[in-house]
Amino acid sequence: MRAFVRNRFAPLVLVVAVLAALYGLALATRPTPPPPPSQAARKVAVESVTAVCPGARGQRVNVYLPGTVNTEALEDDEPYVTKGPGGLEAGYVIRAAEGRSRGLAGVRCTEPGAATWLVGPGPANAEVRLHLVNADKAPALVDVHVYAAEGEVSGDKGVGLDIAPGRHREIDLRTLAPAADIMAVSVTTVYGRVAVAARTTMETGGVDWLPASAPPATRVVVPGIPGGGGQRRLLVAAPGETDALVQVKAVSKDAEYAMRGRETLDVPAGSVVAVDVTTGLGGSPAALVLTSPTPIVAGVVITSTGQSGDVAFTAGTPSLELGSSVAGNGAGSRLVLTALGRPGRVRVQVVPVDGEPEQPFDVDIAPGRTRDVRLRAQGQFAVAVTPVKGEVYGARVMEQRTRESVLQTVQPLSPARAWTMLPPLFDTPAVVTP
């Protein structure tokens, strides 16, 4: 009987042994699994750029490519469109010494996109003309929403604007929100892309173009607030459906601090709030750091001193991680740079319209401090800023003094168009399963 049982289970034992051997062989010879996909975005080169500026008959536009800058004359008031390889920048500055439009008005030629935010004075205090340009070969359908202190005020009047390929529209924002003292403007496309710019002429005098603001985020840095006299007014919008409790910190040349009486700011959902930060900044060049559990957009209105003061604007801006360049600069130009968290360093190169590029130089910024760097180039020039280390933010400030006032314009150092960040990609069955 025992022999029968042993003979009965012997084949089973043999099969188990063979399977175990095969499993061991497979385990030993299996290929090394691929590394997990990177969780970080990838930095890739931009191959081509389209930049669009509002037309200004007789004005000369500076067009910058790394190492060179040229000027082109605008023959009419039609939008100016330029195309080129990665790194292309273009822009111009107009100077008027008298009249309601007196001041320095600088504009960066913008790239067509699907969403743009602007923050600044409203049509009750200024003439604000919104320029929308479709530089593509496909049509665009655009929605414009205006937020004010009392909430969204434009209704459906700015919704569903058709812009044909190669065409543009100019909108006086008084037709959408005539009573708004302060505003945040959202320009989005249902399909297609548009380049956006807004020229603001104050009722009391002074003119400039509103820079594009960083999209709504829970942390916003507003750089490039120049030192000196005049008023500094912070505007914060909470465009979502939740109220925002905003923490505000100033970063000046001497300290990083919460301004007394301005430590927090309550912004009702869908509205814009203004607060005077002139005293809190104390005449120092500075940046403002805003944090909120609710996404916000922000900007600062800068008014110069004198009987005929000028106006300038800065807005929430990304760091200089991808570098930046400003094509249109002239006399009285300087950089206002802020480092957050740890010491920062950037490399600055001035490229004159006439002549060879100047030797680059490094600028160190202490952590939690703002530094003012004067650019001593002659004539018209471009300036390129390359990150070396640290988290640095900045703007180009241009000021020119007259007998009556200080003319000024500010251009935040937006990311250069030489590089872009691509989000990580993952294999997932979700793209092929219902």
Q: Distance between CA atoms of 171 and 169, rounded to whole angstroms?
A: 6
Amino acid at 97: A
Which residues partner with 340 through β-bridges?
Answer: 391
The whole-angstrom separation of Cα 204 and Cα 311 is 10
Give, for all 434 residues of the chain, the pLDDT tens digit.
Answer: 444 444 554 554 444 454 555 455 444 555 555 555 556 678 899 999 999 999 999 899 999 999 999 999 998 999 999 999 999 999 999 998 777 778 999 999 999 999 999 999 999 999 999 999 999 999 999 999 999 999 999 999 999 999 999 999 999 999 999 999 999 999 999 999 999 999 999 998 899 999 999 999 999 999 999 999 999 999 999 999 999 999 999 999 999 999 988 899 999 999 999 999 999 999 999 999 999 999 999 999 999 987 778 999 999 999 999 999 999 999 999 999 999 999 999 999 999 998 899 999 999 999 999 999 999 888 999 999 999 999 999 999 999 988 878 899 999 999 999 888 887 765 555 544 45
Number of H helices, E strands in the chain: 2, 31
DSSP string of 182-230, one letter each residue: EEEEEEEEEES-BEEEEEEEETTS-EEEPPPBPPSEEEEEEEEE--SSS
Residue 357 exposed, middle or buried by CB count within 10 Å (0-12, 13-18, 19+): middle
**Residue 236, strand partner residues:** 273, 298
Choose among 289, 112, 130, 317: nearest CA to 212: 317
Q: Rounded distance, CA 326 to CA 154, Å?
A: 33
pLDDT of residue 31: 55
C-alpha–C-alpha distance, residues 364 and 157, integer Å: 49
pLDDT for 80 equals 96
- Which residue from 135, 104, 133, 131 is spatially nearest to 118, judged by alpha carbons? 131
Both tokens of 247, joined, read: 């923490």
The CB-side HSE value for 23 (13 A sphere, CA atoms) comes to 6
Supply 358's token pair. Answer: 């100047």
Q: How many angstroms separate the CA atoms of 359 and 297, rounded?
A: 37
Contact 162, 117 (CB under 8 A): no
What pLDDT does residue 394 have? 99
SS3 (DSSP) at 174: helix
At 15 the pLDDT is 47
Distance from C-alpha of 311 to C-alpha of 296, rounded to nearest angstrom: 23
